[in-house]
Structure 1
């Protein structure tokens, strides 16, 4: 285990590498829960909301490989997304922090998270989420798409580049901005509190902080996630159309459809994401700092 870096500023390169690697690990480990959640959000005939039952049914009916349909796209997008949002958040956080305490107010934490979420949605999340959602939706019935690249080229031919890859941009950005603000904001608030009260930043503390942040994220941002999934299905839908279709099918409570499955994934994902991020940052930051010192001395 590596000691968690406490109170030290991470360089942009450290944030980029650690954030991207952490996102890739988290996405790969928790993807079956994401698959199950997306299936339930797309198809009203799902007999259960228990993620383990959905996963079991998919394995029995479609084989275990089906659980990772669209995984390559999500992992690639998550690596890019988390690299961008961690470097964005850490850079913005450094600009906004209190010079005396080194902490941010809750409002500034949230604003830094929102800004990082918008950047990540624009450059990484919306295109990859669109392809991932289309792959999962297509695997249920039509099975037209042979791979992420085939799905991408097919959708671009049918709808054009922007409409194919940026369908659901508004709902995705709303979800991403709110998720990043709540997740990174909550995590950073907990870390600042622990730093001010001299609570050691152990692996268990970091995992717990990430799990708490993940729990809060689900209940606050689930409606955006539900609308995003509807908007990015194979047929697609606008924001208003996605909203009205969910209300028509399930009522207001339908906006939180899939929250149980997302909760299981997000709590685990939050712990994995931040623990891996801090581990990798603690490993590579001293190496990069040493190389920088050597370079400056030459």
Structure 2
């Protein structure tokens, strides 16, 4: 049996499949992500009904409002998941041949750190582009009118010129802490997937089972880490708060939200986030598994099962 290596064709297949799967899934449920972003960034919006807000955005801004910033998000998401899947599966083959849950968690966090340090600038720009030109409820501490990015590349150039390198990595600290989110997600997914494979006595699970496993794994990770995700979105958007430094840290912003809005303020937008992220993650895993299976079957024949482990 060939020695496992971090750089392999097998890892590349997983990365491409993960990137494509995430792009398909995000496109399908993007309006929910739009609502989640509005709830996290619009301080004056008090409605918590996801579908009511979706109807408001559609009424005020049309279909374009629900899909604002789709292309930069898809570009960033593909790059992000490509890096994450490649790193995670490469590390898993090299350092987790025993397939232990704890090691999956640790390797997931390492893959997340690599992902954050590689792709954080893309997420800073697309968070702002999603709110660019949006009609905000009651205004926002950081006016989106000050951003006028033509595309992802133009946004990266403008942020670098106006805010320096630090601007490109706004929210990176929160993002590094949030590496626990995909780590929990992949740990739960791999553990449940293995149990399902034993239960069904098959390495190939049907799409409904994969969808369910992916949904549960993402729901667990999202609820446990949501307050940090809320702060991360505000940092990337460039929020400022009265009485806090312009580049306030994670703890300072969380304490400010607690004082102003109470404990519930840390979970504002959770309903929309749960709907969006769970459905997107579940569909992503279905697409990922199918794409990877097809590629391995076509290009590697009977070797696919051995190489995917």
TM-score class, shorter-chain normalisation, is 0.7 to 0.9
Contact 1:36/1:261, CA 8 A, preserved across alignment: yes
Ranges in structure 2 where 5+ consecutive residues have no aligned partner: 1-7, 137-142, 241-246, 305-309
Deviations 1:173-230 (A, max 9, x none): 222x112111111110011122333454111111111111121121111011011011
1:296 equivalent in structure 2: none
1:166 equivalent in structure 2: 169
Deviations 1:225-277 (A, max 9, x none): 01101111134643244223322331233222211111001121121110000
Counterpart mapping for 1:50-61 below 5 A? 50-61=49-60
CA distance in 2, matches of 1:98, 1:218: 28
CA 1:98–1:146: 2 relative to 1, 3 Å:
closer
Give aligned pairs, total: 278
Match of 1:180 among 182, 189, 207: 182
Counterpart mapping for 1:15-30 below 5 A? 15-30=14-29
1:268 equivalent in structure 2: 279
CA distance in 1, matches of 2:144, 2:76: 24
Moved over 6 A (4+): none
- Per the normalisation by structure 2, the TM-score is 0.82
CA distance in 2, matches of 1:255, 1:10: 42
Contact 2:70/2:130, CA 8 A, preserved across alignment: no
Deviations 1:87-142 (A, max 9, x none): 1111122223345xxxx222112112111111111112x21221122223443354
Contact 1:231/1:242, CA 8 A, preserved across alignment: no
CA distance in 2, matches of 1:147, 1:221: 32
- Confirm or deny that 1:215 pairs with 2:219: yes
CA distance in 2, matches of 1:170, 1:106: 26
Counterpart mapping for 1:6-85 below 5 A? 11-85=10-84
2:140 equivalent in structure 1: none
1:189 equivalent in structure 2: 191
- Per the normalisation by structure 1, the TM-score is 0.85
- Confirm or deny that 1:107 pairs with 2:102: yes
Ranges in structure 1 where 5+ consecutive residues have no aligned partner: 1-8, 294-298
2:298 equivalent in structure 1: 287
- Distance apart, 1:156 and its partner CA: 2.6
- Distance apart, 1:10 and its partner CA: 8.4
1:242 equivalent in structure 2: 253
Contact 2:105/2:187, CA 8 A, preserved across alignment: yes
- Distance apart, 1:28 and its partner CA: 1.4
CA distance in 1, matches of 2:155, 2:64: 18
